[in-house]
Amino acid sequence: QVQLVESGGGLVQAGGSLRLSCAASGQTFSSYTMGWFRQAPGKERECVAAITWSGGNIYYASSVTGRFTISRDNAKNTVYLQMISLKPEDTAIYYCAATRAYSSRYYLTALYDYWGQGTQVTVSS
């Protein structure tokens, strides 16, 4: 079992920045691939970034490449999502998730076993 708690969401103007954090507790955090997902009203949940246990493999959705950076600190059991140049279309609830599965497709929602409760990010124009 892994418990995930997101923080760092909020209201920001377009062009601004936010850093989301996801603190994990429970079983060995360093053995999990971690993902950040988002879900806007009326839309499906999508993966924006994922990072394997060592940080050796990282995935970004094309819509956030160059603006979002995922990182992890295994000593602190925490994964981060640094977001810059935010756009109104980035508005969504952001969730972190964990999986121990091995895959080349870490963007798949179904791959993840554990989810946080989400944190709201609102970008005003």
Rounded to whole angstroms, the Cα distance separating 6 from 22 reads: 4
Rounded to whole angstroms, the Cα distance separating 93 from 119 reads: 5
Could you read off the pLDDT of 69-101 as tens digits, one per residue? 999 999 999 999 999 999 999 999 999 999 999
Residue 56: its pLDDT value, please? 87
Could you read off the pLDDT of 31-84 as tens digits, one per residue? 899 999 999 999 999 999 999 988 889 999 999 999 999 999 999 999 999 999
Mean pLDDT of all residues in 3-10: 97
Rounded to whole angstroms, the Cα distance separating 13 from 15 reads: 6
Residue 108: its pLDDT value, please? 94
Burial of 115 (0-12, 13-18, 19+ CB in 10 A): middle
Rounded to whole angstroms, the Cα distance separating 82 from 71 reads: 8
- Using the predicted structure, report yes or no on whether residue 27 has a pLDDT greater than 80: no
Residue type, 1: Q
Angle, CA of 44, 8 and 108, to the nearest 5°: 30
Q: Which of 16-20, 74-78, 119-123 has the lowest mean pLDDT?
A: 74-78
Q: Which of 12-16, 27-31, 48-52, 98-102 has the lowest mean pLDDT?
A: 27-31
Q: Which two tokens stand for residue 61?
A: 């959705």
Alpha-carbon distance values, 43 to 38, 46, 62 (Å): 9, 9, 17
Residue 52 sits at φ, ψ, to 5 deg, of: -75, 175
- Using the predicted structure, report yes or no on whether residue 115 has a pLDDT greater than 90: yes
